[in-house]
Amino acid sequence: MNSPRAIGRAAAVAALLVGSAAGADTRIGADLGVTAGLASNPYGSTGGDTAAGTLSGSFSPAVTINSPTGSTQLRGTVTHTEYSRIYGGTTDYSVAGNTSQQISPLTSLTAGASYSSYVRNGLYPVFDPIIGGPVNPGDPIIVDPSGAASFRERTEVLSGQFGLGFTLSPRDSLNVSARGTRVRFPDDMGLSNDYDSYGGGLTYMRAIGPNTSIGAGLDVSRSDYVDPALGKTTQYTPTARLSTRLAPRVTADLSVGATFSETQFPTGTMNSTSFFASADICREGDRTEFCLVGSHGVSPSSIAGASQVTALGARYRYAIDQRSNINASASYSRSQALYGTGSNDTDYGQASIGYDRQIRPRLSAVVSVTYSDTYDSFVARSANFHGLVGLRYRLGQN
């Protein structure tokens, strides 16, 4: 992928988002961060003395625009990491914009675009390119099951999404969405496969009580691999849905259905039917936040082609007091090639726990420990433990 061109496309979308909210209340800020740590095996090496000290610096600007009809946010991050031995330094960067607007009393709009370029390692979550990183701070992390097999590869991801919500009556609503993702590995190390994924969905929900809605949905998606041997897969997924409040502070969104897949190979076409399910359960207390998500379905994988992917993610936050918090997260995912194409199946797990404390109104300190490992990978790798301490300084109004 041509990086300047991709960044230019994301910047153009961001400019449109800013322009749509011209004249509204605008807040500009940034976070500056520096961390130092020690990693036992940051790139999943297969043997020998792989430990190294790490030193990272990051700059994350953000612009938030609030108006009577909604909000728009533009954000970016640049992170540079140096190692004390063995490994060369890396620079990761990303830019994103999203907006949420009430364009009429009965119609809402959401839209967003992002571009990221990063070198995969065991230090930070390897996000699933289709899902991306957490949109909200309390959302669980979902990792890419094939991420650990492609350590040390630079990954470039360009994505966009658009949605419209319609209130049909006091009890009925309809949502229409579209999305697209482009994943490239410019280093061409021969481990991962470039692909494009795009699709859309339609969901109808009806309230059957003050806290419960039921409905149905249909999602259509397609993944096209640059390598013809991995094929082009089209998927149709009808689902039944339930959204409910289980308790005053507990919400749940559940869906079940089936995925009908058709993959076109140079030698012919193959079809399959797979079970689909997803769950999103969250509890928010006075001092705690906890979310658990899980899914099983068909999605593209950079290693194994179109795959059945099972993913679980959890995130917990506890406010010790007004200045101190404990954060913990865990994620596990597994990909199994749908038709036996590509490399072997891959499992990847990651867990972390951290403590942060506000030292001054704009200055915070953080301590964390992260564990990550691969399971049943075609390359036997040692686990990675990464401990770090750091400081973060907040600039501006955000």
| pLDDT score at 167 | 97
Q: What is the mean pLDDT of the chain?
A: 87
The answer for 94, left when phi > 0, alpha when psi is -120 to 50, beta otherwise, is beta
Pairing of strands 212-225, 232-247: antiparallel
Give kind and range of the element (H or E) at residue 17: helix 3-20
Q: What is the mean pLDDT of the segment spanning 358-376?
A: 91
Pairing of strands 172-184, 90-104: unpaired
| pLDDT score at 124 | 78
Max CA pair span of the chain: 65
Q: Are 127 and 146 in contact (CB under 8 A)?
A: no
Q: Is the pLDDT of residue 123 over 90?
A: no
| pLDDT score at 10 | 46
The rounded distance, in Å, linking the Cα atoms of 341 and 230 is 6
CB atoms within 10 A of CB 299: 24
Q: Are 373 and 349 in contact (CB under 8 A)?
A: yes
| pLDDT score at 193 | 87
pLDDT in tens, 155-207: 999 999 999 999 999 999 999 999 999 999 998 777 788 999 999 999 999 99
Q: What is the mean pLDDT of the segment spanning 228-245?
A: 94
Q: What is the mean pLDDT of the segment spanning 367-379?
A: 81
Which CA distances in Å does 221 have to 228, 237, 338, 391? Answer: 18, 9, 15, 42
pLDDT in tens, 210-227: 999 999 999 999 999 998
Q: Are 184 and 197 in contact (CB under 8 A)?
A: no
Q: Which residues pair with 54 in a beta bridge?
A: 37, 83
**What predicted TM-score, i.e. pTM, was given to this entire model?**
0.85
Domain tally, the chain: 1
Which segments within 1-49 are labelled E, that is strand?
A: 25-39
For 239-266, the DSSP string reads EEEEEEEEETTEEEEEEEEEEEEEEEET
pLDDT in tens, 91-110: 999 999 999 999 999 999 99
- Residue from 177, 298, 311 nearest 234 by CA: 298
Q: Are 282 and 294 in contact (CB under 8 A)?
A: no
| pLDDT score at 299 | 86
What is the dihedral angle through the alpha carbons of 11, 194, 374, 327, rounded to the nearest 10 degrees?
10
| pLDDT score at 132 | 62
Range of the domain at 84: 3-396
| pLDDT score at 54 | 97
More confident: 1 or 333: 333
∠ CA(284), CA(288), CA(294), 5° rounding? 60
Q: What is the mean pLDDT of the segment spanning 347-373?
A: 93
CATH, residue 164: 2.40.160
Residue type, 371: Y
For 345-378, the DSSP string reads -EEEEEEEEEEEEESSSSEEEEEEEEEEEEES-S
Token output for 84: 């004390």
| pLDDT score at 323 | 94
What is the dihedral angle through the alpha carbons of 90, 2, 76, 145, rounded to the nearest 10 degrees?
-70
